[in-house]
Amino acid sequence: MRAVLFDVDDTLLDFRGADAEGFGRHLADLRPGLGPAETAAARERWRFWGAHFFARFTGGDLTFPEQRRRRARAVCADLGLPLAAGPDAADAWFAGYLRHCERALRAFPDAGPALDALRAGGIRVGAVSNSGHANQDRRLRLVGLRGRLQAMVCVDDAGGVGKPDPGIFRAGCAALGVAPAEAAYVGDHLDHDARAATAAGLTGYWLDRAATGAEPGPPVVTGLAELVPLFVPATEGSRP
């Protein structure tokens, strides 16, 4: 294996945690005094509309800014929050959430050390993400990981279509100068990451951080440190 490509959200960085905290704080700004049950119900609507409109972005149907605007509008409609007409108002609303989300964003503690150890062992490392390039570039910089990745391919780098389409995985391999058969792919989504990468000719690994062990199929790791001995021979790299 000459390269390892990574999913970004909930693989290298804890986006789910930052999203939940960021939305909770944004909502508290907009409607102070909400109880935990109401906040949890609102967060469920936020997640629902996020998944709905993001799938339309990765399917090539909406632009990245437009999926954000539609998500903001749908959530405001569900929760009875005021939002003026037009894209500027929706963008400003979303920016309020994003400020809180980015403040809460953290890399998983095993991400940086695993990337460094793989590179020290001669393995090329990169990212393939279903988000927009500028967005993921910013997130990875905020958590200190962008400079450790030798390439990053997002939906807008790959003709507007994301995982599970094989094209985006192959574009990631090309960006690192390796063939799909020479690359592993690691991600937290069993179908869109592990199985889809395998279907594209890479070796897909499912990152099962909760160690549910529920699904047979692709090889599984429960943390990123487990990747290092798989790809870096013990006589090389950063080990004594």
The footprint of Mg ion on this chain (CB under 5 A) covers a number of residues equal to 4
Give the one residue of 3, 5, 10, 173 binding Mg ion; rule: CB under 5 A.
10
Cα gap 230→191, rounded to integer Å: 22
C-beta closer to Mg ion: residue 7 or 165: 7
- Residue pair 206/218 in contact (Cβ under 8 Å)? The answer is yes
- Smaller CB distance to Mg ion: residue 14 or 188? 188
d(CA 231, CA 15): 26
Residue with smaller CB distance to Mg ion, 93 or 108: 108
Residue 5 tokens, joined: 């490509």
Identify which range of 1-9, 40-48, 213-221, 223-231 contacts Mg ion by CB under 5 A. 1-9
For Mg ion, the binding residue among 131, 186, 188, 207 (CB under 5 A) is 188
Q: Considering the complex, state which of residue 16 and residue 141 has its C-beta at the smaller distance from Mg ion.
A: 16
Nearest distance in Å: CB 10, Mg ion: 4
User: In this structure, are residues 19 and 139 in contact, taking their beta carbons and an 8 Å threshold?
Assistant: no
Nearer to Mg ion, 15 or 93 (CB): 15
The beta strands (E) that lie in the chain are given as 3-6, 124-128, 151-153, 183-187, 203-207, 220-221
93 vs 206, beta carbon nearer Mg ion: 206
Give CA–CA dist 13/188, Å, rounded.
11
- Cα(66)–Cα(108) distance, integer angstroms: 29
**To the nearest whole angstrom, how small is the minimum distance from the Cβ of residue 192 to Mg ion?**
8
Which one of residues 9, 14, 19, 165 is an interface residue with Mg ion (CB under 5 A)?
Answer: 9
State the burial class of residue 89 (Cβ atoms within 10 Å of its Cβ: 0-12, 13-18, 19+).
Answer: middle
Sign of CA dihedral 35, 41, 42, 43: positive
Q: 127-160 burial string, b = 16+ CB within 10 Å, else e?
A: bbbbbbbebbbebbebbebeebbbbbbbbbbbeb
Among 4, 7, 49, 132, binds Mg ion (CB under 5 A): 7
Q: Which range in 99-107, 180-188, 205-213, 225-233 contacts Mg ion by CB under 5 A? A: 180-188
Quote the least distance from Cβ 189 to Mg ion, whole Å: 5
| Segment interacting with Mg ion, rule: CB under 5 A, options 2-10, 28-36, 86-94, 137-145 | 2-10
Binding footprint of Mg ion on the chain (CB under 5 A) = 7, 9-10, 188
